[in-house]
Amino acid sequence: MPIQNVCVIGLGSMGMGAAASCIRAGLNTWGVDLNPAALETLRQTGARDAQTAADGFVDQLEAVLLLVVNAKQVNAILFGDNGLAARLKPGTVVMVSSTISAQDAQQIEQRLAQHQLLMLDAPVSGGAAKAATGEMTVMASGSDAAFERLQPVLEAVAAKVYRVGSEIGLGSTVKIIHQLLAGVHIAVGAEAMAMAARAGIPLDTMYEVVTNAAGNSWMFENRMRHVVDGDYSPKSAVDIFVKDLNLVAETAKALQFPLPLASTALNMFTEASNAGYGREDDSAVIKIFSGITLPQGKEQA
Supply the pTM of this predicted model.
Answer: 0.93
What's the pLDDT at 1?
Answer: 78
Mean pLDDT on 136-145: 98
How does strand 118-121 pair with strand 136-142?
antiparallel
List alpha helices for the chain, DSSP H.
Answer: 13-24, 36-45, 71-79, 102-113, 127-132, 144-149, 151-157, 170-198, 203-211, 218-229, 238-255, 260-272
What's the pLDDT at 298?
Answer: 61
Q: Is the pLDDT of residue 47 over 50?
A: yes
Mean pLDDT on 70-82: 97
The CA distance from 146 to 95, in Å, is: 9
Q: Is the pLDDT of residue 32 over 80?
A: yes
What's the pLDDT at 235?
Answer: 86
Give phi and psi for 5, each to the nearest 5. Answer: -115, 115
Could you confirm whether 175 is annotated as catalytic? Answer: yes
Q: Is the pLDDT of residue 299 over 60?
A: no
The CA distance from 175 to 102, in Å, is: 10
Reported as a single tens digit per residue, the pLDDT across 104-134 is 999 999 999 999 999 999 999 998 899 999 9
Q: Is the pLDDT of residue 154 over 80?
A: yes
Q: Which residues have CB under 8 Å from 129's CB, separation 6+?
A: none
CA distances from 214 to 185, 202, 220 (A): 14, 19, 12
Q: What is the CA radius of gyration of the chain?
A: 20
Q: Is the dihedral of CA 278, 226, 127, 176 positive or negative?
A: negative
Of 189, 187, 180, 169, give the one whose Cα is nearest residue 238.
187
DSSP 70: S
What's the pLDDT at 2?
Answer: 81
Which residue of the set 72, 89, 175, 243 is catalytic?
Answer: 175
Q: pLDDT tier at 301 (50, 70, 90 boundaries)?
A: very low
DSSP characters over 132-174: HTT-EEEEEEE-HHHHHHTHHHHHHHEEEEEEEESSTTHHHHH
Reported as a single tens digit per residue, the pLDDT across 185-207 is 999 999 999 999 999 999 999 99
CB atoms within 10 A of CB 100: 30
Q: Lowest-confidence range among 6-10, 187-191, 297-301? A: 297-301
DSSP 26: T
Of 23, 20, 31, give the one whose Cα is nearest residue 4.
23
- Dihedral angle computed from the Cα positions of residues 135, 141, 145 and 151, in that order, rounded to the nearest 10 degrees: 0
Domains, the chain, ranges and CATH? 5-167 (3.40.50.720), 173-288 (1.10.1040.10)
What's the pLDDT at 20?
Answer: 98
Mean pLDDT on 73-81: 97
Reported as a single tens digit per residue, the pLDDT across 54-71 is 999 999 999 999 999 999
Reported as a single tens digit per residue, the pLDDT across 236-269 is 999 999 999 999 999 999 999 999 999 999 999 9
